[in-house]
Amino acid sequence: MRIADVLRNKGPVVATVDPDLLVDEMIGELARHNVGALVVVEGDAVIGIVSERDVVRRLHQHGPALLDARVRDIMSTTVSTCLPTDTVNSLAETMTERRIRHLPVVVDGHLVGIVSIGDIVKSRIDELQCERDQLESYIEHG
């Protein structure tokens, strides 16, 4: 299964945030979209990603003053991305090896979607269920 298949089921909507937004407002965006990470964009360009993990780690370091900082001050600027043609299995490996939970999907420099580790797990479970159903059918009908 390819990432394009995951996006077809999930949809192309990606929650994004401006790098100059206050961290306090960004936390509200995480809650409003019910997501664990937001892609940071400037114009059409992906310039970072910011997650709940980034907030918690920086909050521990800087205390409540962090809420008045800008997203650009806490975002991760090294962003791993993927293509719609990548396989679910290859992304599972990448996400596990790099210990990342969200991968923006980019085509020709344009953000076209995002996949999370949850999307990958759900896809794999669906794939295994389909294989199970096929095996049961084969056993029942010869």
**Segment 102-128, tens digit of pLDDT:** 999 999 989 999 999 999 998 888 888
Among 67-71, 79-83, 120-124, the minimum mean pLDDT is found in 120-124
Task: Tell me the per-residue pLDDT of 4-50, one tens digit each, with 9 for 90 and over.
Answer: 999 998 888 899 999 999 999 999 999 999 999 999 999 889 999 99
pLDDT of 129 reads: 86
Kindly give, in sequence order, each residue whose CB lies less than 8 Å from that of residue 76, ignoring residues fewer than 6 positions away: 48, 49, 50, 51, 54
Kindly give, in sequence order, each residue whose CB lies less than 8 Å from that of residue 13, ignoring residues fewer than 6 positions away: none
**C-alpha dihedral (64, 100, 83, 42), degrees to nearest 10:** 20
pLDDT of 124 reads: 85
pLDDT of 142 reads: 66
pLDDT of 113 reads: 95
pLDDT of 133 reads: 81
Q: Encoding tokens for residue 105?
A: 């999907």
What is the SS3 assignment for 81?
coil
**Cα(67)–Cα(59) distance, rounded to whole angstroms?**
8
Q: Are 84 and 113 in contact (CB under 8 A)?
A: yes
Buried b (16+ CB within 10 A) or exposed e, 118-134: ebbeebeeeeeeeeeee
